Amino acid sequence: QVQLVESGGGLVQAGGSLRLSCAASGRTVSAYAMGWFRQAPGKEREFLAAISRSSGLRKTADSVKGRFTISRDNAKNTLFLQMNSLLPEDTAVYYCAASARVTYATDRSLQYDFWGQGTQVTVSS
């Protein structure tokens, strides 16, 4: 199995940018389809973006399309989420996840097997 650790969260003003990282150990990120989710207080976990295991095809939620971009660096064994034009509504705990059961970019949380601990993103007005 793989262990995932998110980093890069913090406090940012509205309109600013952050790049989240998800460092993998135990297995390479290239062995999994990978995704990013977030959860705000009192809200359900929300899909953000995913990338397929081999082809690099991406799927991005309509709510963040054009602002958030998922990518990975296989040499560094790291998954990234570039977040631009941040809004206060983006405030949440952000999680990366890995799927061992599918190879494609999936938006279904139940298809992800491994999760990081989360990193807090707070966007001020």
Contact 33, 19 (CB under 8 A): no
Mean pLDDT, rounded, for 86-103: 97
Residue-level pLDDT at 107: 98
Q: State the average pLDDT for the chain.
A: 96
SS3 content of the chain, % helix, strand, coil (to 5): 5, 50, 45
Burial tier of 125 (Cβ tally within 10 Å: 0-12, 13-18, 19+): exposed
Q: Which residues, in sequence order, are bridge partners of residue 88?
A: none
Which of 93, 85, 96, 119 lies closest to 17, judged by CA? Answer: 85
pLDDT in tens, 5-55: 999 999 999 999 999 999 999 988 888 999 999 999 999 999 999 999 988
Pairing of strands 119-124, 10-13: parallel
CA–centroid distance for 87 within its chain = 17
